[in-house]
Amino acid sequence: MTLDNNRHMKLLLLSNSTNVGERYLEFSKNQVQLFLGTKKLTVIFIPYAAVTFSYDEYESKVNEAWKVIGIEVKSVHHFSNADEAIKNADAIVVGGGNTWKLVKELQQKKLLSLIHERVKTGIPYIGWSAGSNIACPTLRTTNDMPIVEPKNFHTLNLIPFQINPHYIDIHPKDFGGETREQRIMEFITLNQNLYVVGLREGTMLHYDNGKLKLIGKKPARIFKYNQPIKDMDSGEDFNFLLK
């Protein structure tokens, strides 16, 4: 898959929801407002990654964060027919949490292909953490514990590369386990055709009009089998990832 023929798609893929010392989704609000525009939209929220709190609580938390920019989401769990809700959406937002649970719910409700088709027509898609993970071909670069078992690892396949959200390259003192970099190196050794983007917190990937860019003050780390690991800043060209 490439994105060459999908210039209508609009994606905003955040590494995380909260930066240290900030309110929930605070760092994203200006970009979200620019991304969605000022027109009143029907924004459908997918809360299925939530585990330790309710879908109602999740919806309220997002609305509280974004009310200052005039954006209100409606969670899909309120609708008796989730298909119709997504078909009538002007934008789709997928929250973070546990990626395994998110994928299992979407598979059980048979919503993955529908969301894929709606986003391909050009309705904006916003995700953070697990919501960014599922924009990839598979969930296999999530950091989450597999607390449930989905049917398979397939996700929305909106982009032809993998994202590792919350990417960190810190190796704590007295910790002898594998680093995040080592885990990703294992992945690309067995999946040699795929790029992996280590997306650091406070950053996001934006795709629109056939162009992909990084937004944020921290660089993204790019992994590909048999290629040097490299950090790339927001001003650099990320379109090579689209091929």
Q: Which residues are catalytic?
A: 129, 144, 166
Q: Answer whether 49's CB lies under 8 Å from 131's CB.
A: yes
Q: How far is residue 232 from each of residues 94, 111, 117, 215, 237, measured CA to CA in Å?
A: 26, 34, 31, 11, 9
Q: Answer whether 62's CB lies under 8 Å from 91's CB.
A: no
| Gap between the Cα atoms of 193 and 44, Å rounded | 33
| Gap between the Cα atoms of 148 and 99, Å rounded | 10
Q: What sign does the dihedral 44-51-104-243 (CA atoms) show?
A: positive
| Gap between the Cα atoms of 81 and 61, Å rounded | 23
What are the start-end ranges of the E strands in the chain?
10-14, 43-46, 73-75, 91-94, 125-128, 162-164, 196-198, 204-208, 211-215, 220-223, 230-232
The conformation of residue 219, written as its DSSP 8-state character, comes to P
Say what the alpha-carbon torsion angle 198, 236, 219, 223 is, to the nearest 10 degrees: 30
